[in-house]
Amino acid sequence: MQHYVCTGDCGGESERSKVCESEGCKNEGQPLSECSCTDGFHKGVLDTDHEIDLAEPMDDEDAL
């Protein structure tokens, strides 16, 4: 189901498009990002760099 998540610090979620309303969040006042994940991890929207970070150590072991 389509939903919207804040990519800032608050981790906010909404079923409808809106802006982040969390005071102090770096994305406060910014529109939430569309997401359609089914596992609740919002991987398509939230820090996708994390997956790359996890893969790097494996590459290092390969090189040894």
Per CB under 5 A, which of residues 26..55 are in contact with Zn ion?
27, 35, 37, 42
Nearer to Zn ion, 8 or 64 (CB): 8
Least separation, in Å, of the C-beta of 55 and Zn ion? 22
Neighbouring C-beta atoms of residue 2, cutoff 10 Å:
10
Beta strands in 3-53 (DSSP E): 3-5, 13-14, 33-35
Q: Which two structure tokens, joined as six digits, stand for 37?
A: 């994940």
Q: Which residues bind Zn ion (CB under 5 A)?
A: 6, 8, 10, 12, 20, 22, 25, 27, 35, 37, 42
